[in-house]
Structure 1
Amino acid sequence: MSTPDEVVRAMCRSWSDPDTDPDRISAYFAEDAVYQNIPMEPIVGRAAIRDFIAEFRTAFDAIHIDIHHQVAAGAVVMNERTDTLRGADRVTPLRVMGFFEVTDGAISIWRDYFDMAAINRAFDG
């Protein structure tokens, strides 16, 4: 079985695949996982997370996640990273702090903290 650190790294890498598949990404999550972009409302359940990923992914031509630092202690993983969003002739680097809990080899909690102004610029074109 993969360690929590390996699970989070693999999930982050899967976003950078040019043929990103929401089913493949959501497979890293527990059935009852909770994903939240703070301060937005949480998304609960693997199916809802998959739907969010599918919708979010259509807004961009590519998404690349570059982990700068990652630490793991037991089931908890935290990383500092840049998520680069490419689309509509625009490149938006988004600095993110991520918190994850991994239970039985699957992500059960994922919370991301970032500057909402940067994400709004990516969507406002």
Structure 2
Amino acid sequence: MEPKEVLCLWVEAFNEGDVDKLAALYAKDAINHQVAQEPITGKHAIRDAFTAEFENAEMVCIVENIFQEGEWAIMEWKDPKGFRGCGFFHIVKGLIVFQRGYWDKLSFLKANNLPIPQ
């Protein structure tokens, strides 16, 4: 499966809020580094992080662009509230081994009426 195809499956699972489908797309020792947070290592820890995030906020990924270069899939996205970001996914043999997301955490917290840490 091409990286772009894996990323499309990721978007589908994310928009369904299906943490099991999301986790299945990651390699056992994958790393998910959202730059506004500390990196998360391991498929199970990534699943747990998605579970917590979906409990805190309603999140929807609207794809603006998806690009592929070799083993990498890159996505520009927004949500219905106008919040925007981008993600880089290193995909090897159909599994995400590394993910890095760029987005503004303060804007996310404000858009979702979540507490702002002091």
- Displacement after TM superposition at 1:32 (Å): 0.6
Gaps of 5+ in 1: 85-91
Counterparts of 1:15-94 in structure 2 under 5 Å? Answer: 15-17=14-16, 20-60=17-57, 62-84=58-80, 92-94=81-83
Give identity over the alignment, percent: 25
Residue-by-residue CA offset, 1:2-54 (whole Å, 9 max, x unaligned): 2100001110121112xx22111110101010001103210000000000011
Counterparts of 1:84-123 in structure 2 under 5 Å? Answer: 84=80, 92-121=81-110, 122=112, 123=114
Measured in 2, the distance between the counterparts of 1:21 and 1:13 equals: 9
Shift in CA distance, 64/39, structure 1 to aligned 2, threshold 3 Å: closer
Q: Does 2:109 align with 1:124?
A: no
- What is the root-mean-square deviation in Å for CA atoms of aligned residues? 1.5
**Secondary structure of 1:33's aligned partner:** strand
Report the TM-score when normalising by structure 2: 0.88
Report the TM-score when normalising by structure 1: 0.84
Moved over 3 A (4+): none
Gaps of 5+ in 2: none
Q: Alignment length, in residue pairs? A: 114
